[in-house]
């Protein structure tokens, strides 16, 4: 699976149930807004649209930026 993701990228087919934080977390600096899902294969976080019931654009958090930098050897 990792080899396929390396060449073709993750398809994000296995995600968590949509999560909506009840309040802003001080540990995250209050950056999380709205509903999101997490890909169980690659760990990517994506905004979720309840009206259309679909996954939307990636959510950029400090954790996802650090994970991307580590994967590319920039960390």
Query: CB neighbours of 38 closer than 8 A, spacing ≥ 6?
Result: 15, 16, 19, 44, 45, 46
Please state the pTM of the whole predicted model: 0.61
Chain segment 4-61, per-residue pLDDT in tens: 556 677 888 899 999 888 766 555 555 556 899 999 988 889 999 999 999 998 887 6
64: pLDDT strictly greater than 70: no
Chain segment 19-28, per-residue pLDDT in tens: 888 766 555 5
The pLDDT value given to residue 34 = 86
């Amino acid at each position: 699976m990792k080899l396929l993701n390396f060449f073709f990228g993750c398809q994000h087919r296995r995600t968590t149930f949509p999560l909506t934080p009840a309040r802003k977390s001080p540990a995250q600096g209050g950056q999380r807004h709205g509903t999101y899902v997490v890909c169980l294969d690659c760990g990517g976080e994506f905004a979720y649209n309840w009206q259309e019931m679909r996954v939307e654009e990636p959510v950029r958090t400090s954790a996802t930026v650090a994970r991307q930098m580590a994967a590319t050897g920039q960390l």
